[in-house]
Amino acid sequence: MLIEPTTLADVVVMTPQPFRDDRGLFTRTFDAAIFDDHLGRSGASAAFVQDSQSRSVSGVIRGMHGRSGRGEAKLVRCAHGAVHDVLVDIRTDSPTFGVQEAFLLDDKDFRHLYVPPGFLHGFQALTPVADVCYRIDRPHDPSEDIGVAFDDPDLAVKWPLPVTIVSARDRAAGSWQELIRHVR
């Protein structure tokens, strides 16, 4: 598995190395020993306590979501299809505070992101069907949910496709300026 840094502090892209033959392919999507070695913390992978999956149709946007309090760390990958995945650093003490970066996650390269606590996360489905899998280090607590509207002009995320569907919750999310006041 290749592990590469990104422009966002502490975020890495993990790319499995599939074995391909006439039957198709086989790949290891996660390796605890490699992950723990990269973080320099034995047993760090055991902190993941919940796996979730979403299915979206082309043009759907889910996000921009985050967690208050201790936040949450997660591994995100697209098991079927492709998504335009966006992260925004909301850690006020980070050198990349306020910086966003987009990643293509798909079922061809099997890349996935390690997202440490303190980020907004969202994505847009690029294919007719896209299944996104999340491995999260804390049980979900809805009282800690925070978010910024997907179309907030100050955040200015550049979504690659016309938007087809967004949940009522995501449409009603606050602004980037409100979130900045909340985290400071």
The residues that are catalytic are 65, 134
Q: Residue 169: beta bridge partners?
A: none
- From the CA atom positions of the chain, what is the Rg in Å? 16
Whose CA is closest to 93, among 12, 9, 7?
Answer: 9
CB atoms within 10 A of CB 3: 14
* H or E element at residue 131: strand 129-136
Sheet holding 2-5, edge to edge: 2-5, 12-15, 112-115, 74-80, 129-136, 50-57
- Dig out the tokens for 112 from the structure: 């996935």
Whole-number Å distance between alpha carbons of 127 and 144: 31
- Dig out the tokens for 12 from the structure: 């890495």
CB atoms within 10 A of CB 138: 18
